[in-house]
Every structure is written in C-alpha cells, then in structure tokens.
A and B are shown apart, each in its own frame.
Chain A
Amino acid sequence: MCQVDEEYQEELERADGPSVSKKCVKCKEASAAVVIRAGDTYCRSCFKEYFIHKFRAMLGKNRVIFPGEKVLLAVSGGPSSCSMLSQVQEGLSQKAHKKLRFSPGIVHIDEGGAVGQSAEERQRKVSELQAVFKATGFPFLILPLEQVLDLPSSVVETALSPLEPPPSAYKAAVDRFNQTSSSDYLPPQEREEKSLPDVQKSHTQLLQQLMGSAKTLTAREDLLNTLRQHLLVHTARTEGYSKLMLGDNCTRLAIKLLTSISLGRGAQLAQDTGFSDSRYGNIISVRPMRDYSAKEIAFYNHMFNVPAVVVASLDTKTSEKASIQRLTESFVTKLQTDFPSTVSTIYRTSEKLQTACRSSSSADHSDRCLLCVCTLDTAVEKASAFQATLISEQLSQTKSLGCRNPGQSPGPVKPESAASTGQCCSSAGGEDCGRATSGGGCCSLTTETTDLKSLLCYSCQLTIRDMSSVDHLPLYILSEAQRRQRRAQMRDEISEFLLDDGDEGIYREV
C-alpha cells in the first residue's frame, strides 16, 4: 500500500555541492576556516568566540547549576567531553568575560575491562588521561568500571527527589554567592589525585562474564551504559557532588534519540536527551554540549589544541549492522551528509518532548526500573504494542488457555501470564529452547529472568531478554531485585487490608 497518505511539507533541503566562499560571515574580513552549516563560514577567531559564548549561554539559559555548587564532569577522553572540560577551564579562568562560578571535579571511568583491553593498554590510557586532568588543576578520579560490582543497592533506589526549587532560588543563590565570595573565593585547589586503584583480575573476569552473558552487541552496549551511569551517580553522591556534567553533543544526542526510539525507550526520551535528567533524585545530570555538532567540536579541538584521548569502545571497528546503536549512528551520519539539517531537526524534536509523568516525582521507587531507574512504562494498557506482543507470545506457545474455542476469547493478558503457563522455555524465545536440551538448567534461569522482568522498563526487558543469564549481574542489582520482589509479595498479602492501593498512599503522606 502506498504510504503517501498524508500531506507533508516540502522535503528536507538537500545538500548543495561544495561552496567556495572564503570570507567569515561574522567579521566579514578574515578568511573563513570552518563551515558550521551551509552558508555559515567562520574565521578562526570568530569561531572561537562563538564556541565559547555558546557554552556560557547554554548554562546561563538553563540556570540549573548554582554558584558555588560542586559539579562532577564525566570525561571519557573523547573529543566531546574533553572539549567540555576545556570550556569549563576557560569559563573559570580569571580572564573569562562572564566567569563560571561552580566548583568542578573530574571523573573518568576506565571501561577497558568491559571492552577487553589488556592491563598494559589500560594503564597507558589512564596515564595519558592523568596528564590531561592534572594540567587542569581540578580534582579528579579515575575509576575502573570493575568498581561497579561493589556498589551498594542505594544506587538504584532513587534517593528522595529534592523538591523542585522555586524560580527565585537561583537568584537567591547568586546573591548569596556574590556577598560571601566575591573577594575570598578561591580557585579549586589541586587535590592529591587518586591514581587508579589496582584492579583485581578476578573482578575483571566477573565484569567480562557479565558483558559476555549479553548475547547481542545491542544489549551489551545498553548494559554498559547502565553500569557506567550507576557508577557515575554513585561516585557523585559519595564525593559530595550534586550535578553530573555529561559531554553528549548534538550529533550524539540525535543518534541517541533515534536509538532510544528503536530500543523502545520512547517514554524516557526527554530525560535521555534533554538538557537535564533528574531521574536519580539528588544527582542531576546536565548536558551543556548539546548545542554543538560533532563537527564543531572536532574543529575546535583541532584548532585550539584541546587534548583528547581516543578510547576504544564496544563498537569500535565493528560493522554497520553490528548493533542497533551502531546502525543508527551510521544511518544518521549518512543522512546528514545528504540532508545537512538532519541532526538539527532530530535534535529539535528532543526539545519538544517531556518525560511521561505518571507521578514520577512522588512515586515509590518500586515503580522505577531496576536498571535504568526511569519510571516504569509497562502498565499493560488495552490496545498497546506491549499488550499486543504479550498476546502474540501467548498465542504462539499454548493451546491450553481455552482460546481455541471460537467465540470465547481470553481477556486482556497480564504480564505474568507468560510465566504462569509454566512454559518459560519457549516464552523466552527460541535460543533458550536450544539451551534446555543441552543443559536442562534453562528453566530455573529463565524463570528468574521472567521474575526480574516485572521490575524493569520495557526497554531493559529487551536487554535482559538478550542475556543468556542474569546471574552475572552485580550483586547490588540482584539483591535490590529480591528486596523489591519480597516487598511486592508482602503488598499482595496485605492488600486486602489496605484502603488505598498498595503502599503508595503511605509514601505520599510522608
């Protein structure tokens, strides 16, 4: 069927051929060095001014970071986060026009263990990064991802969210800051840096087992993102930071937005790609680089010698169709070449979204996803994609539910019903059936997977589905899962005595 069934505005503008105009559009004097987008050609110094201004403007416009606040910069070593680091340095320097007034620290997570790098390689990268970080004079931490294995369960409990500060709070904080610190404010002091703690081989092995239990690169990347986020949030909390600064740029966010949609993360899009993300309650993530394209950053770093350290990631040198994340990246970059407004159009979409609020700020944390801590989007609504998939699963595996009887159709399916049929092998997909014949231990594993599923959002369920076993998940996740399951059980048992539905009512009164 022809899909052109609705009117659309004209097609997106196609790329023109190379244009050779050589003057800067800003000062109209110097010869141009960068084409930011079609027609926008800047000379070196106007480009620098524009770049620096944009960073301040982004922070100024959003008013999320308060003067004097401790802000933790997550620096992967890639161009974007290193550029962010240099902008913070620039903004805090005495000569800065409108000085930034927060107090920064740096955290780098060494993911070499998950990516399969040798200890020597990891050490080499770490010392390169150490040199970059030392030069800033900011306090910094370099943590191996292996530390995620030892996190406490408190990471995935959302700490009680702070109340939304009233609009006047920002101004009050500025005033306070100006009174107290205009003269005696000291630049952040260099702290004795903590060098990379020795990583136990056994820890690295555990991490690798965990990564290896994800059968697809798509799931592996998703899992790695989750673990990284947990370690970042935990570090910010224990080190006394209240904001986490992430280096996602506009190009990256456009890719992330499209990836998130493909991964079933529609409900979380606004938090995944917006300026700030408050799902972790007292630690708010911000993305000040979201206005810069990857091209702007690459040019700036090259021209003004911003050091960056290339760190291999899971999908480095993989083929285009290795994972959903990887495919989306190549799709967006290719489309961007043909239609130069692609990235900015997708990016603008992200600005018009908000997180679907099912009383997310006040909700009990058992309503949050165990892994990504977003508000659960798995309420089985009538006539939804989620419901339709559950029906398909049910209809594809069982005749015993009486639905063979024409005229008598089964009622809406509950998510648990797949498990209750006792045919967990087939419910978890074809691959597990193969395991059943060889190992026989499949059923217990899959049952556990199914149990875990009820604690996860739609998308994290997909990730878990792609895992051969959840046994290798870190203890803090598994024990929190058990706690929530016990709690849910208890709630079921006492539900008939409660007037309100579950314990939400109790929580709201507190």
Chain B
Amino acid sequence: MAAPIAVHLEFGGGAELLFNGVKEHHVTLPSQSEPWDMKQLLVWIQRNLLKERPELFVQGDSVRPGILVLINDADWELMGELEYQLQDQDNVVFISTLHGG
C-alpha cells in the first residue's frame, strides 16, 4: 500500500475557468494499492475537481491537445507523461494554450 500523497496543482492560461476560476489547489491523493501516476491523477481531477465540460480538459486518457503540463517546473514530455509516478509534494501545472493572443 502506498501512503496518501499531497500534491500541488495549478491551472492557468484559461484552464482554471473549468475549475471555478480557482488556479491553485492543494490536494491529497488517498492511499491506494499502487503508486499514483499522471494517468490516475487525471481521472482523479476529473472526478473530484473538474466543475464543467470535462471534454475541454481531458480527451481519451490524456489531457486535451493544446493543454501543456509541467511537472515540478519541467515539461512533462521529459518526465514520461502519463506514466510519471507522482511523489509527495509534487507540483503539477496545467496551462491551456487555446484562445491565446
């Protein structure tokens, strides 16, 4: 059993609009049999945080194209994307690049 972990989530670039306009969320992911990865985090966000229009945030089992993800201030493409295993106190940022300008 993995212990519960605390992560810091941040939504920006307009993505926060899907979360009642709240940009920062300190959340605790409950304890579960296997370690938390990004894929599971997205499911968790969808069930627990997302307020509206889930298709504007997730598509399939990943984020919607056009939403960037940073894990601890680095591009998640460098971290293994969906397979990245979350650690306690991780910082995950979602930035929408849609409607920019």
Contact = CB atoms under 8 A, between A and B. Distances in A.
Q: Are any A and B Cβ atoms less than 8 Å apart in their complex? A: yes
Interface of A: 18-22, 31-35, 41, 76, 78-81, 247-249, 251-252, 294-295, 297-299, 302-303, 308, 310, 312-313, 315-317, 329-330, 333-334, 336-337
Contact of B13 (A35, A310, A330): A310
A333 B65 contact: yes
Interface in B51-101: 52-53, 56, 65-66, 68, 70, 73-81, 83, 93, 95, 97-101
A378 to B, nearest CB: 29
B17 A251 contact: no
B78 A22 contact: yes
B80 A33 contact: no
A34 B75 contact: yes
Contacts of A329: 66, 98
B70 to A, nearest CB: 7
Given A18-B83, A302-B70, A317-B56, A79 B78 contact: no
A298 B13 contact: yes
B43 to A, nearest CB: 19
Contacts of B13: 79, 298, 308, 310
Nearest to B70: A302
A129 B63 CA distance: 29
Contacts of A315: 99
Given A302-B95, A316-B17, A317-B56, A33 B73 contact: yes
Interface of B: 12-14, 16-18, 52-53, 56, 65-66, 68, 70, 73-81, 83, 93, 95, 97-101
A251 B81 CA distance: 22
B78 to A, nearest CB: 6
B68 A18 contact: no
Contact of A337 (B18, B65, B83): B65
Contact of A317 (B17, B66, B81, B83): B17
Contacts of B77: 18-19, 35
Which of the listed residues B56, B66, B70, B79 has the most CB atoms from chain A within 10 Å of its own CB? B66
B100 A299 contact: no
Contacts of A251: 97, 100
Contacts of A19: 77-78
13 contacts: A18-B80, A21-B78, A33-B73, A33-B75, A33-B78, A34-B74, A35-B75, A78-B99, A251-B100, A315-B99, A317-B17, A317-B18, A336-B65
Name the 5 nearest CB pairs between A and B, nearest first. A294-B97, A333-B66, A337-B65, A333-B65, A18-B81
B101 A81 contact: yes
Nearest to B59: A334
A332 B3 CA distance: 41
Given A18-B77, A41-B78, A310-B14, A249 B68 contact: no
A313 B99 contact: yes
A86 to B, nearest CB: 14
Contacts of B81: 18
Contacts of B101: 76, 78, 80-81, 247-249, 252
Contact of B78 (A32, A298, A302, A312): A32
Contacts of A310: 13-14, 16-17
Nearest to A79: B100
A50 B83 CA distance: 30
Contacts of A298: 13, 68, 95, 97, 100
Contacts of B97: 79, 251, 294-295, 297-298, 333
A81 B100 CA distance: 8
Nearest to B73: A33
A329 B67 CA distance: 13
A252 B83 CA distance: 30
A384 to B, nearest CB: 33
Contacts of B95: 298, 302
A32 B78 CA distance: 8
A247 B80 CA distance: 32
B68 A299 contact: yes
